Chain A
């Protein structure tokens, strides 16, 4: 641990370069083309950073939009510029993989509110010339999706072959299919729900309070103070990380095994392997993620409730949809349990939408969508191949 945990780490400084000068393509939308937000505010100017993989075909019909999760970013299938680790979905995206870059053109944007080059709370506020910090407007998932739609406009894409994502990414997929019906040929929402449950909000609140309780949060002005609420954000991550795993997965991985010792120490060191693991998860997260982004994005998820946006009836959001849906859930995911996906399926049935629904038997918990799950791969490959055929794409792409 740092001698001065409240100070910025080297890795953190390196990461902050990505805010202003990301190793990604970036589209800057000028102040005159600001983004109207659900809150009534306008984000102007704003930027969207994105990665692409594969080649866009001539009639621009082979684009797959990948939406990332809460703490993900646009680096889905390339080494991460800060950590050097493989992209978060390298198993899924690439030549010959289920999202086959020999056939499809893959676009993965960083969400607004994020910290990897799209405009977020650590970006400079043009009104003050200083980082937004707590002055950044509260955003929603629909705002994120709107920003992505603006990116597609900019790239001249009318309709995506598919929009896919897990967790918060899956929620964006559902929002896409509700808000831009004509622009979504097919949709693959994975391990998600059409609204954030009370339990989910509760977990997020714990995380936010941990961040805000850290004196180095400095009322959100830590960037200007040259501080960093590392401890608070690490605790938030630790709590959240538990929710991404199943009880069984934790037990299989760690049991009650002790960490580098033969007996408990009768103290508060990380006696157990699971403690040591969580501490590591917390600390390494801090190097690659911004605390205020964490607050804003968790808030956006909490506000998410598609039915509420459509007269309280989820089916209303999808009336008349021609999108082909494929929902996927995992048996051991207790953060977004299968029942939540099934509710979406029932709403889609109510409007006679074209929907597939697969529940995958896995003991990996919510994070299963990021892992090597053969049935997940088979499902996505099969569904995308069929969608591409329906869309009139040749077998060769």
Chain B
């Protein structure tokens, strides 16, 4: 059998989590980082291997936590909605919420807590304003399912989906300073030099660097 060639229209797993590389780019070396919803520790590993950061993680699933700790990462089982309150002010240089905010019960409160415990906050999320999402709902009349939002409406953990515009509006409401805002298209390419409305339409995910 011939070795399969990656057809250009299919995305590898790496491209799918290109937001992680972009996040890693935003983190200053040697800093103190808290990754909320760290999963199996992929981002924490990238950070500690390449950037020498002092990384900690919080993960909801016990299996994920155990996997992380067995790899030597500092991770605790915990819930972003309830457990951030235990941390002191400005305990970290960066708090990262990668593709997690849409799964929290109270995104605004979580964001408030993050801005309290960390100098900088990095947030990434699947953009619900992406044209595919809009098209599925508009023309298919069904709840959208995409590569970044693969679950059906009845079993999705994503209970607070938002668009890039929605998120920026929340930041504005909260008085959070947006240091960087990057929209990534379906191929993981940064959308630059196009207006916000276009980013909100063509960006499949948004990555934001915030501070108080």
Question: Could you tell me which A residues sit within 8 Å of B by CB distance?
Answer: 324, 326, 345-346, 349-352, 354-361, 375, 378-379, 381-383, 385-387, 389
Question: Known: A345-B76, A355-B76. Contact between A382 and B71, CB under 8 A?
Answer: yes
B69 and A350 within 8 A (CB): no
Q: How many residues of B contact A (CB 8 A)?
A: 23
Q: Which residue of chain A has the shortest Cβ distance to B72 in the bound complex?
A: A386
Q: Which residue of chain B has the shortest Cβ distance to A352 in the bound complex?
A: B91
Give B12 Cβ to nearest chain A Cβ, in Å. Answer: 28
B76-91 residues with Cβ-Cβ distance < 8 A to A are 76-78, 83, 86-88, 91
Give B78 Cβ to nearest chain A Cβ, in Å. Answer: 8
Contact string, B1-42, partner A, CB cutoff 8 A, digits 1/0?
000000000000000000000000000000010000000000
Q: What's the Cα separation between A325 and B201 when bound, in Å?
A: 45
B72 and A378 within 8 A (CB): no
Offer 12 A-B interface pairs, CB within 8 angstroms, sorted by A: A324-B74, A345-B76, A346-B86, A352-B88, A355-B56, A356-B74, A357-B76, A357-B77, A358-B69, A359-B62, A360-B66, A383-B69
Using Cβ atoms and an 8 Å threshold, which residues of chain A touch B76? 345, 349, 355-357
Using Cβ atoms and an 8 Å threshold, which residues of chain A touch B194? none
Using Cβ atoms and an 8 Å threshold, which residues of chain A touch B88? 350-352
- Our count of residue pairs bridging A and B at CB distance below 8 angstroms stands at 68
Contact string, B45-76, partner A, CB cutoff 8 A, digits 1/0?
00000000010100000100110111111111
Contact string, B87-106, partner A, CB cutoff 8 A, digits 1/0?
11001100000000000000
Using Cβ atoms and an 8 Å threshold, which residues of chain B touch A358? 62, 65-66, 69, 77
Q: What's the Cα separation between A386 and B83 when bound, in Å?
A: 25
Using Cβ atoms and an 8 Å threshold, which residues of chain B touch A357? 65, 75-78
Using Cβ atoms and an 8 Å threshold, which residues of chain A touch B71? 382, 386
Q: What's the Cα separation between A223 and B56 when bound, in Å?
A: 54
Q: What's the Cα separation between A349 and B91 when bound, in Å?
A: 9
A378 and B54 within 8 A (CB): no
Q: What's the Cα separation between A352 and B73 when bound, in Å?
A: 15
Using Cβ atoms and an 8 Å threshold, which residues of chain A touch B32? 352
Given A346, A350, A382, which contacts B72 in the complex, CB threshold below 8 Å?
A: A382
A349 and B87 within 8 A (CB): yes
Q: What's the Cα separation between A360 and B75 when bound, in Å?
A: 14
Give B56 Cβ to nearest chain A Cβ, in Å. Answer: 7
Using Cβ atoms and an 8 Å threshold, which residues of chain B touch A383? 69-70, 72
Q: What's the Cα separation between A17 and B188 when bound, in Å?
A: 73
Q: What's the Cα separation between A346 and B92 when bound, in Å?
A: 16
The 8 closest A-B pairs by CB, nearest first: A386-B72, A382-B70, A352-B91, A357-B76, A378-B70, A349-B86, A346-B86, A356-B69
Q: Which residue of chain A has the shortest Cβ distance to B54 in the bound complex?
A: A354
Give A323 Cβ to nearest chain B Cβ, in Å. Answer: 12
Using Cβ atoms and an 8 Å threshold, which residues of chain A touch B83? 346, 349
Question: Could you tell me which B residues sit within 8 Å of A by CB distance?
Answer: 32, 54, 56, 62, 65-66, 68-78, 83, 86-88, 91-92
Q: Which residue of chain B has the shortest Cβ distance to A390 in the bound complex?
A: B72
Given A351, A352, A379, which contacts B69 in the complex, CB threshold below 8 Å?
A: A379
Using Cβ atoms and an 8 Å threshold, which residues of chain A touch B87? 349-350, 352
Told that A355-B74, A357-B77, A375-B70 touch, could you supply 6 new A-B pairs with CB distance under 8 A?
A326-B69, A346-B83, A350-B87, A352-B92, A358-B65, A361-B62
Q: What's the Cα separation between A262 and B51 when bound, in Å?
A: 69
Q: What's the Cα separation between A345 and B76 when bound, in Å?
A: 8
Using Cβ atoms and an 8 Å threshold, which residues of chain A touch B54? 354
Q: What's the Cα separation between A324 and B68 when bound, in Å?
A: 15
Using Cβ atoms and an 8 Å threshold, which residues of chain A touch B68? 356
B66 and A389 within 8 A (CB): no
A382 and B69 within 8 A (CB): yes
B69 and A381 within 8 A (CB): no
Q: What's the Cα separation between A152 and B99 when bound, in Å?
A: 47
Q: What's the Cα separation between A381 and B56 when bound, in Å?
A: 18
Question: Known: A346-B86, A349-B83, A350-B86. Contact between A356 and B91, CB under 8 A?
Answer: no
Q: What's the Cα separation between A379 and B77 when bound, in Å?
A: 14
Q: Which residue of chain B has the shortest Cβ distance to A338 in the bound complex?
A: B77
Give B93 Cβ to nearest chain A Cβ, in Å. Answer: 11
Using Cβ atoms and an 8 Å threshold, which residues of chain A touch B72? 382-383, 385-387, 389
Residue among B54, B91, B92 having the largest count of chain A Cβ atoms under 10 Å: B91
Given A356, A385, A387, which contacts B75 in the complex, CB threshold below 8 Å?
A: A356
Q: What's the Cα separation between A351 and B71 when bound, in Å?
A: 24
Give B36 Cβ to nearest chain A Cβ, in Å. Answer: 12
Give A303 Cβ to nearest chain B Cβ, in Å. Answer: 27
Question: Known: A360-B66, A381-B70, A382-B71. Contact between A354 and B77, CB under 8 A?
Answer: no
Q: Which residue of chain A has the shortest Cβ distance to B55 in the bound complex?
A: A354
Using Cβ atoms and an 8 Å threshold, which residues of chain B touch A359? 62, 65, 77
Q: Which residue of chain B has the shortest Cβ distance to A351 in the bound complex?
A: B88
Using Cβ atoms and an 8 Å threshold, which residues of chain A touch B66? 358, 360, 375, 378-379
Q: What's the Cα separation between A387 and B92 when bound, in Å?
A: 21
Q: Which residue of chain B has the shortest Cβ distance to A389 in the bound complex?
A: B72
Give B212 Cβ to nearest chain A Cβ, in Å. Answer: 18
Using Cβ atoms and an 8 Å threshold, which residues of chain B touch A379? 66, 69-70
